[in-house]
Amino acid sequence: MAKQREIFVKGATERQVGAEVASYIFDLMEKFAGYGFNKSHSAAYALVSYQTAWLKAHHPAAFMAAVLSSDMDKTDKVVVFIEECRRMNIMLAPPDINVSEYRFTVGALSEIRYGLGAIKGLGEAAIESLIEERRRGGLYGDLFDLCQRMESRKLNRRVLEGLIRSGALDALGSNRATLAARLPAALQHAEQLSRNDAAGQNDLFGLAAAESIPAHPLPMTEVAEWSEEERLRGEKDTLGVYLTGHPFNRVAEEFASLHTIRLRDLVESSGLRRNNDHSLMAAGLVVSLRTRNANRGGRIAFITLDDGRGRLEVRIFPEVYERHRQLIAEDAILVVQGTLGWDEFNQTTRLNVERVLDLDGVRAEYARQLLIKLDLQQCEIGVLTPLARILAKHRGDGRCVVLVDYVGAGARVEFKCGSNWQVKPSEALLKQLRELLFGVEKVRLRYGISDI
């Protein structure tokens, strides 16, 4: 401050301000710098911090609903707040066309109901019209009732598709695939009814008889629900988060046999690992990816892995990133091998990656046995021929032995296929086998733990 006094007084005198006056003005600024700015702001923020902390502690659901509503047009922030809700064990109910409001609300069981305004691609006017019509005419009965009661210009096909994929229309049909299949017919039916009404109102002389259209079409055939992967992808596209499940869940049990460490365990035990660097394997879904230039050239990557129960940021140095960059992308499920250490700058656990593997890479390297479960009924309907055809496509350089667990009328046996039937256990192979045998539990991989 003494140095700044000299600069200030010199500049003031050069502008015809007396040195005495300039010194007096600087004295005031120096005095203010000692307490004014810091204390006033500290007091204001302390009060706000106390109020918000009190609300969060005593009314957690209402507080988080308000926080979510305040930034619901910013998907990145909504994702962070939803993770906080899960950490606080606050249930988050999916959006519901017959229950949800525009903003996030608190339900009777202290759960937070997803706000319709947080669904991507829906305008505020369309949502307010939906809610107003629901209050006026009662709950929507089904998809045809919804389309009939809403104007097409406010609720067009794109908006309805977003509502279906987000899960907001689950109450109006048996499943999302069926709703999507019925949507064209529902829109057409609503348009015909609208034309019918218009013709009846505008023809003053009754010369043009309106087309006879039933108030409600006949029931349509049910459609098999989308796969979990497709259903969750729809939620991610429309809500920004996986709300009713997590893509990693389908491989969580499989990876447990790989002895991958849970991400939550890494985070919660971080304080014990500051000076205990060691190698390990971790797995998760890539939920964020960013890169920047490294000091010594190349690109360094930071990815955040999520296994449905925890998150961890992983640092990948240029050499490793260049070697595996074709595998590293958002929404990819990866297994990373590296050294766990303590980041003193950020005061957090960080995994320095030495190797990256995708699903096919992990399975090809570590899977030792492919177990297929068969029963008498399946054999009688003729699955053996297509089963052999599928396995034959994936033979070659694979070293995964095929085992068959067969359950007959009064006996059970597990037998090993010959070495010429060893396969490379890719995602494509597993998907084909599970579709043929009607179930994930019918096809399992066993890993060679000693090789890890």
Please say whether the dihedral angle defined by the alpha carbons of residues 9, 10, 13 and 18, taken in this order, is positive or negative.
positive
- The proportion of the chain whose per-residue pLDDT surpasses 90, expressed as a percent, equals 47
In this structure, is residue 49 part of a structural domain? Answer: no
Based on the domain organization, do 370 and 357 belong to the same domain? no
> How many Cβ atoms are within 10 Å of 372's Cβ, its own excluded?
19
Based on the domain organization, do 306 and 412 belong to the same domain? no
Distance CA 417, CA 398 (A): 14
pLDDT for residue 29: 86
Distance CA 95, CA 104 (A): 9
In this structure, is residue 204 part of a structural domain? Answer: yes
- With a CB cutoff of 8 Å and minimum separation 6, the contacts of 183 are 143, 157, 160, 161, 164
DSSP-assigned letter for residue 210: P
Based on the domain organization, do 315 and 204 belong to the same domain? no
Distance CA 54, CA 63 (A): 10
Based on the domain organization, do 229 and 287 belong to the same domain? no
Average of per-residue pLDDT across 202-210: 47
In this structure, is residue 208 part of a structural domain? Answer: yes
pLDDT for residue 451: 40
pLDDT for residue 217: 63
Based on the domain organization, do 269 and 353 belong to the same domain? yes
In this structure, is residue 337 part of a structural domain? Answer: yes
pLDDT in tens, 376-392: 888 888 889 999 999 99
> How many Cβ atoms are within 10 Å of 296's Cβ, its own excluded?
8
In this structure, is residue 316 part of a structural domain? Answer: yes
Based on the domain organization, do 185 and 320 belong to the same domain? no
10 Å CB burial of residue 212 (0-12, 13-18, 19+) is exposed
Based on the domain organization, do 120 and 254 belong to the same domain? no
Quick one: pLDDT band at residue 395, thresholds 50, 70, 90? confident
- In this model, does residue 207 exceed pLDDT 70? no
Quick one: pLDDT band at residue 166, thresholds 50, 70, 90? very high
Quick one: pLDDT band at residue 175, thresholds 50, 70, 90? very high
pLDDT for residue 308: 82
**Residue carrying structure tokens 């006056």:** 21
Based on the domain organization, do 294 and 369 belong to the same domain? no
- In this model, does residue 434 exceed pLDDT 80? yes
Strands 395-407, 367-375: parallel, antiparallel or unpaired by DSSP? Answer: parallel
Which of 340, 362, 384 corresponds to the end of one domain? 362
Based on the domain organization, do 358 and 235 belong to the same domain? no
pLDDT for residue 210: 45
Distance of CA 360 to the CA centre of its chain: 22
pLDDT for residue 452: 38
* Residue 30 dihedral angles phi and psi, to the nearest 5°: -65, -40
In this structure, is residue 245 part of a structural domain? Answer: no
pLDDT for residue 277: 60
pLDDT for residue 168: 96
In this structure, is residue 56 part of a structural domain? Answer: no
User: Between residues 278 and 390, which one has the greater pLDDT?
Assistant: 390
In this structure, is residue 54 part of a structural domain? Answer: no
Based on the domain organization, do 76 and 151 belong to the same domain? yes
Based on the domain organization, do 228 and 317 belong to the same domain? no
Which of 308, 332, 362 corresponds to the end of one domain? 362
Q: What is the mean pLDDT of the chain?
A: 86
Cα 161-165-170 angle, rounded to 5 deg: 100
Q: How many residues does the chain have?
A: 452
pLDDT in tens, 222-272: 888 998 889 999 999 999 888 888 999 888 888 888 888 888 777 666 544
pLDDT in tens, 328-349: 999 999 999 988 777 666 666 6
- The proportion of the chain whose per-residue pLDDT surpasses 70, expressed as a percent, equals 88
Its domain, for residue 394, covers 365-451
- Could you tell me the pTM of the whole model? 0.75
Query: Residue 350 pairs with which residues in a beta bridge?
Result: 341
10 Å CB burial of residue 48 (0-12, 13-18, 19+) is exposed
- With a CB cutoff of 8 Å and minimum separation 6, the contacts of 225 are 175, 176, 177, 178, 231
Based on the domain organization, do 25 and 165 belong to the same domain? no
Distance CA 327, CA 349 (A): 24
Distance CA 360, CA 40 (A): 59
Quick one: pLDDT band at residue 296, thresholds 50, 70, 90? confident
Query: Residue 335 pairs with which residues in a beta bridge?
Result: 283, 357
**Residue carrying structure tokens 């709300």:** 243
Which of 194, 220, 239 corresponds to the end of one domain? 239
pLDDT for residue 208: 47
Q: What is the 3-state secondary structure (H, E, C) of 56-109?
A: HHHCHHHHHHHHHHHCCCCHHHHHHHHHHHHHCCCCEECCCCCCCCCCCEECCC
Please, how many CA atoms are within 13 Å of residue 358, restricted to the half-sphere of its CB? 12
- Total number of domains in the chain: 4
pLDDT for residue 216: 61
